[in-house]
Each structure stands twice: as C-alpha cells, then as structure tokens.
Structure 1
Amino acid sequence: MKAGVIGIGDMGSGLARNLIKAGLETWGIDLLPKRMAAFGDLGGHPADCVAEVGAHADVVFVMVMNGDQAKSVILGPDGLQGSMKPGGVVLLTATIKPREAREIGAALDGSGLHLIDSPVSGGYPGAQSGTLTLIAAGEDAAFARAAPAMEAVSSVIHRVGTKPGDGQTVKACLQSLIGAQFSATFEAAALAAKAGVPGEVILNVFSTSSAGCGIVNNALQKIIDRQFEGTGSHINTMHKDLTISMGLGEELGVPLHTAAAAMQVFHAGRTRYPDGDNWVCTRVIEDIVGAELHRNSAKKTR
C-alpha cells in the first residue's frame, strides 16, 4: 500500500511520520517549503501538486484547515478525484462542517473512489505518537482497504456511521464538550492565580480528582509553564471547531449555552493573542485580574 497526506502541518506531519514508520511509501504536499523539507527528512516523497499525490497513493489523508480547502484538494481540477485510481480511498481527517462532508461525498458518488469521513481527536501529541482517535464513517469496503493506513496513525478507530457527514457530526458534538472543558480550566487557573495558589498545587489536585482528564491536565501544564505558543495546538483550530459546533446547534435548533460561552472565550483569546495556542485564552483572564499562574507561584502583575 502507498499512502498520501495533503497538509503536513502540526497534525499532518504526525500522520506522515507514523505512516512512514509503519513501512508505507508515503507521498505528501504542503504549502510551506519548510514543512515539505521536514517531510522529506522523515523519508517521505514530497510532491509538486495534489494530483501527484493522488497518482501515487492508494489511500490519501486530507488534513487541511476548512471545508473550502478540502473541496479544492479532493474535487478541484487538479485534485484527488481526477488523479487517484479507482478503488482508492480518501480519508477526510480534517474537521469541517457536516454539510460540507456530505457535499464532498455526493460529488464523489460514481467516481470509483471511496470516502471515509474521519475527523480525529488527540491533538498534536496523538498525531505525533500515532495514538489518535479516528471518528470514522464509511462503507465496509473502504474500511477494509484503508485499514493498514488507519491503524498506523491511531490507537482507537470508532465506526460512527456509514455516510459522509456522520463523522463530522460526532466530532462537532465532541468539540462542544472539549471547548467547555478548556474554558472552565482557563477560568479555574486564573482564579487560583488571583487567590495566590501555586500552579503545581492546582495541577496535582486537579489531575488526581474526578475532574482530571487529558484535556484539563495538558492545558494546566502548558499554563503553569507559560507555554502559550508553538505547542502544536494553535487557537485558530479550536476556534474554527467551535464555530462548526455552534453552527450545527443553530441548524438543529439545539441551545448550546456552555459551548457558546467557550466560543466567546476562544474568540477573545484569538483576538488578543492571534499567534497563541489554546491555553493563551488564560492570559486574557489573567490580564483582567492582574495575576498569573506559574508552576511554583502565583504572580501578581499589578
């Protein structure tokens, strides 16, 4: 089997790393030359265009930022639809609107290509370590063909449906919860800072309590060590995902009060610190209260 990766950023580079590690010949492309160079250093085959990836690969992971980009690389004039061999599998691992995934699936109908709608969870650490959770929807034939590639990048594969859009719908529900967990963690960290509690105390207690989980623990570690940029979890991605969750709620008439509050926290964080990662939202609240949470202290800033 030969694999392909479209988008070799924080997440796509992890996909590529683990596909190569599993022994799959892997082709890839990204808009940034430095990412292409790093991909080549891993043992990947840098391509000149999306069509070249499609021409070489049996299974292609599409890890782009939004639905318009996904449509372009899959359905565009130089996209995967026109370059992959019949029987090939497109793995839509980007998080996009469910409606957009359905539109892509409809456009591929009759093309001879399979589509697995499979957004992922696990973030940068999961992508790099090959332990992502795949939230996958597709037909049996597609899963059977893509299994070696999917297993190379994940530790858990959930089959959540058979139709395009099913995976994205489950991911939108998940992100509404994760957004709320993030925003509550940011607020609790700022509360501790203002109260004068050292960050390590908060981390130790939270991580061993019923509230402790990967989301909370990782966010707190980044906050108390003041790691707000370059951690592989840029704020734009979660902001975009929450926009999708809110849009689905609007479409279905479901009130999402807590997710809406989280959306505003991330909106404020992205506006104030546009180059930051998710945890930088804490700094917005810290700026308001005049205190910062550090590992060994709570530092007053005014």
Structure 2
Amino acid sequence: MKTIGVFGLGDMGSGLAKNLLAAGFKVMGIDLKPDRMAAFEAMGGIPAASPAEVGAASDAVFVMVMTGAEARQVILGEDGVVAHMKRGGAVILSATIKPFEAREIGAAMEGSGIHLIDTPVSGGFPGAQSGTLTMMAAAPDAVLDTFAPVMEAVSANIHRVGTRPGDGQTVKACLQSLIGAQFSATFEAAALAAKAGVPGQVILDVFSTSSAGCGVVNNALEKIIDRQFEGTGSHINTMHKDLTISMGLGEELGVPLHTAAAAMQIFHAGRTKYPNGDNWVCTRVIEEIIGAELHRDGAQ
C-alpha cells in the first residue's frame, strides 16, 4: 500500500484525504488548525507533526495550500518535502498559485529526483468531497502515467495540459477568468430579478433549463435564493485570489480582461464587506444598494 501525503486539510484537502483513504491508500496529513487534524484522524488518516515527516513517509504528496509562498515553504523549505522525500516520489501541486511561482518551484526542484506534477483542480468543495474534481495536469507523460492511480482516486477528469511546471496553473487562470465572470453575471441577474419582484424559484427554473444554465450558475442561484452566504465550502477568499492570478497573467501577457476585471471588483466589494462570506455573498452587496433581496418564494 502506498502512502500519500496531504498538505492542507480544509474544505478541499479533507476531500482529497477522504477519497484517497477510500481508494485504499495510507494517508498522512498536516494542517495548522487542530480541529482539522482531529477530523482527519477520525476519518482514518495519520496526523503528522511536520512537513518533513510527511515527505519522508510518502510516495507522493498533494499540496493544497492557499498561496504560492506557502507551497514553496512546504515543498522547498528546510523542513519541506524535497529535502526528505525519497527519489522517485512526486509533489502533486493541486493548489492554485501564480504560474511563475509554479515555474520557480519546478526550477528549484531540478536535480532532486522528485517529480513535480503541476495540477490545479476545479470542482470546489463538492468535487473535492465526492472525488469528482477536474485536474489540469502538467508533467511528462511517463510521470503522469506512474501517478495516475493516485490522481484518479480524487478526480473524475484528468486533462493533460502540458509538460512543464506552470502549464497547469496557466490553464487554471484562464478557467477562473471565465468562472469569475459567470459568477458575477449571476449575482447581477439575481439582484435584477429581486428588484423586479420575480421569485427566486422562477429565476432558477428558467436559468437552469436555458442555454445559460450550468453548474456554476445553478449552484450560485441555489445558494442565493436560500440565503446561504457562509459555510458552504466556497469561501470568497479563494475566488478573489484566483481572479487576482488571472488578472496578473493578463497583465504579464498584455491581454485585456475587461469582464474578468469587472468580476474582480465585484468580488473585491464582497470580500471587503463580508470577509467571512462565501462567493455568493457578493449578491448581498448589490442587494443592499437596490433595497431588495431574492428569496426562493419571492423578493423581499
């Protein structure tokens, strides 16, 4: 039985751990929050005291942290994975970070004997918990073939999007620019319906069966009309960070991102007003401006 490490046991990492355990892997994990560590141990995981302990014990490790700086520390720090993992192992970088940060990590790992699979994911909390994530995987084919069973344990769709570190993060930045725009358009449409007095259920029924209906729109509308703005597993900080990465890539490449920029400002407003909220809380900011709320059974 292979041992797989998981760095970060929050909404996403806990799902990775759960599905790896279900697939028969031994899983060692670490998180800064004691409650997450306790929950991980209760599901059958092995809590670790340090990144070095995880690296030394694991054949592959998932890195599901928030920022590039955190990923770099976990992977390359003195107490990190590369310094302690046996040769032939793999770092599966499933966190969403800036493409250049992934490239820098990959360059620093050259000659270590440890493989880097740059594979951010999409699917959010539901996808992580159900093992149906989409992975945007970048590494040589031989490496992806070797570690396919580990990745398949947490994912329903594994797309091979490149061979170099940063390729996966670049595709994810493109994807998030689109998802951010879909979210923001949904928030505005919901507020428009609220002001016009249209019941939320009507909007959901129509949108979900129209050409505009999709998982992003339908899920956001469900949360809005049921007024579920916190604790749904989609904290606004994550999407705000991802849009920042998309905008940064656009700046780097000289690509105008007008719609993503508007989405960025909507998420910035939501995060400023409701820092503990989830993505859909942005709708509340617009609703407060217009003096109407969208509920399932009607506007209020």
Query: Normalising by structure 1, what TM-score?
Result: 0.98
* Residues 89 and 145 in structure 1, CA contact (< 8 A), matched pair in contact too: no
Residue 230 of structure 2 aligns to a residue whose secondary structure is: coil
Q: Offset at 1:141?
A: 2.7
- Over aligned residues, Cα RMSD in angstroms? 0.5
Q: Distance in 1 between matches of 2:145 and 2:253?
A: 33
Q: Offset at 1:148?
A: 1.2
Aligned residues: 299
Superposed, which structure 2 residues align to 1:73-222 within 5 Å? 73-222=74-223
Quick one: percent identity of the two aligned structures? Answer: 77
Residue 31 of structure 1 aligns to a residue whose secondary structure is: coil
Question: Which residue is equivalent to 2:272?
Answer: 271
Structure 1 letter corresponding to 2:243? L
- Structure 1 gaps, min length 5: none
Q: Distance in 2 between matches of 1:180 and 1:11?
A: 22
**CA offsets per residue over residues 246-272 of structure 1, 9 Å max, x none?**
000000000000000000000000000
Question: Which residue is equivalent to 1:286?
Answer: 287
Structure 1 letter corresponding to 2:84? S
**Does residue 43 in structure 1 map to residue 51 in structure 2?**
no
Residue 116 of structure 1 aligns to a residue whose secondary structure is: strand
**Does residue 23 in structure 1 map to residue 24 in structure 2?**
yes
Q: Which runs of 4+ in 1 moved over 2 A?
A: none
**Does residue 295 in structure 1 map to residue 276 in structure 2?**
no
**CA offsets per residue over residues 37-74 of structure 1, 9 Å max, x none?**
00001100000011111111101000000100000000
Structure 2 letter corresponding to 1:167? G
Residue 81 of structure 2 aligns to a residue whose secondary structure is: coil
Q: Offset at 1:98?
A: 0.3
Q: Distance in 1 between matches of 2:53 and 2:131?
A: 25
Question: Which residue is equivalent to 2:235?
Answer: 234
Q: Distance in 2 between matches of 1:56 and 1:192?
A: 54
Residue 11 of structure 1 aligns to a residue whose secondary structure is: helix
Q: Distance in 2 between matches of 1:133 and 1:221?
A: 22
**CA offsets per residue over residues 98-129 of structure 1, 9 Å max, x none?**
00000000000000000000000000000000
* Residues 5 and 60 in structure 1, CA contact (< 8 A), matched pair in contact too: yes
Q: Distance in 2 between matches of 1:23 and 1:144?
A: 19
Question: Which residue is equivalent to 2:11?
Answer: 10
